Amino acid sequence: MTEMTTRPITTVPVKLGDRSYDILIGAGLIDQAGQEISRRAKAVRVAVVSDETVAGLHLDRLTKGLDAAGIHSTPVLVAPGEKSKGFATLETVTNAILAARLERGDIVIAFGGGVIGDLAGFAAGIARRGMGFVQMPTSLLAQVDSSVGGKTGINTAHGKNLVGVFYQPQLVLADTDVLDTLSPREFRAGYAEIAKYGLIDRPDFFAWLEKNWRGIFAGGRERTEAIAVSCRSKAEVVARDERETGDRALLNLGHTFGHAFETATNYDSTRLVHGEAVSIGMVLAHQFSAKMNLASPDDAARVEAHLRTVGLPVSIGDIPGEMPPADKLMDYIAQDKKVARGALTFILTRGIGQSFIAKDVPPSAVLSFLQEKHPK
């Protein structure tokens, strides 16, 4: 037996009845992808949707592994970055899948970060009214969050992720080796989503992160453990509430503020990437909760201190360039998917690991808070 097949793999199940699937976490999974897909699907043809950066680093390895398993692959490459997550690129990807004559039983592999996962998943969900789909996330953020749970979609001028479908993958392969090729900034952005799971309902995990974050950044046992805990946390929530009609909304901690900032910066990754927006949003959610007398200011300060320590932005003023005024940010918040019949819904907190869904949050209170926190 080769060394590749003896390397430890952690399996996290996502339990959704006849649509259940596994998340595999470990080193070397790019090389083993053909084997793992063959065990679970009859498809012999796949489209590998990736961006040019990821493809340049890892596509040859993936293709060799697929070839060894008798799986023919067609690469579909797009430009890296959030701006590829729109209607124009969706049309390009979908047309490429159809031009390759892939059939409904064949598979679309999302091989990249969160942008690729959302884009390729949406294409898989609508091409031929639904094809096979495998997530192979290559960023930390995608491995712990966006690759799990079946949310797919694209951005519009009105806001982030406003067009899409819930479409579950058949398998998630999270190769921890590829994380070593991430820039420090992208790794930190992914770490924000790991911290989120502790802040939602796992206070002991957040305390563990405060002590062990350096090991996560360095790699090894702590990194794999943090990814596995994050995936288990999300898998449990998705199994209870697949389509976000209940407590899956807790996973949006920090996102209502964060999405508004992403829209305000026109998804310009040189200014702000998703995990950075979530970091700022989580700090603001805790500060707003303290302002509303729901939580202690000490908890907000603790969250801010930890995220700042690992190198993440924690305030609106940390976003490079000029930001729109508070009332314009409120317009973006009003377009967010967490709005129901005009009433604002936020994920707020009563303390570390005590997040809850707050409905009918007064817009005037949010506007006043944003005006207070705006650098102007």
Query: CB count, 10 Å around CB of 257?
Result: 28
Q: Are residues 176 and 194 in the same domain?
A: no
94 and 228: one domain?
no
Q: What is the pLDDT of residue 4?
A: 44
- Tens digits of per-residue pLDDT, 250-301? 999 999 999 999 999 999 999 999 999 999 999 999 999 999 999 999 999 9
Each residue's pLDDT tens digit in the chain (376 positions)?
A: 334 445 789 999 999 999 999 999 999 999 999 999 999 888 679 999 999 999 999 999 999 999 999 999 999 999 999 999 999 999 999 999 999 999 999 999 999 999 999 999 999 999 999 999 999 999 999 999 999 999 999 999 888 899 999 999 999 999 999 999 999 999 999 999 999 999 999 999 999 999 999 999 999 899 999 999 999 999 999 999 999 888 999 999 999 999 999 999 999 999 999 999 999 999 999 999 999 999 999 999 999 999 999 999 999 999 999 999 999 999 999 887 556 666 789 999 999 999 999 998 999 999 999 999 999 7
User: Of 149, 181, 213, which residue sits at a domain end?
Assistant: 181
Question: How are the residues of the chain apportioned to helix, strand and coil, as percentages rounded to the nearest 5?
Answer: 55, 20, 25
Residue that has been written with the tokens 């563990």 in this structure = 208
* 199 and 147 both lie in a single domain: no
Contacts 24+ apart (CB under 8 A), 364-367: 365/291, 365/292, 366/288, 366/330, 366/333, 367/326, 367/327, 367/330
| Residues 122 and 222 reside in one and the same domain | no
Known catalytic residues are 129, 151, 193, 234, 244, 248, 252, 255, 259, 274
Pair 116, 218 in one domain = no
Q: Cα angle at 182 between 179 and 186, to 5 degrees?
A: 110
Predicted structure pTM score: 0.92
CA atoms of 273 and 49, how far apart (whole Å): 21
Distances, alpha carbon 26 to alpha carbons 69, 114, 126, in Å: 20, 19, 30
Q: What pLDDT digit, counting tens, does each position of 8-28 carry?
A: 899 999 999 999 999 999 999
The tokens for 255 are 């996102």
State how far the Cα of 219 lies from the Cα of 250, in Å rounded to an integer.
28
Give pLDDT, residue 342: 62
Burial class for 267, CB neighbours closer than 10 Å (0-12, 13-18, 19+): buried
The pLDDT value recorded for residue 42 is 80
Q: Domain of 290: which CATH number? A: 1.20.1090.10
Q: Which SS3 state, helix, strand or coil, does residue 335 take? A: coil
Residues 163 and 110 reside in one and the same domain: yes
Do residue 230 and residue 150 come from a single domain?
no
- How many domains is the chain built from? 2
Q: Alpha carbon of 69 to those of 2, 59, 72, 75, 125: distances in Å?
A: 16, 16, 9, 17, 25
Domain holding 74: CATH number? 3.40.50.1970
Same domain, 213 and 360: yes
pLDDT computed for residue 41 by the predictor: 86
Same-domain check for residues 195 and 213 = yes
Range of the domain at 357: 184-373
Q: Are residues 221 and 258 in the same domain?
A: yes
**122 & 204 share domain:** no
Query: Which of 135, 157, 181 is where one domain is finished?
Result: 181
288 and 212 in a common domain:
yes
Domain boundary (181, 197, 216) is at 181
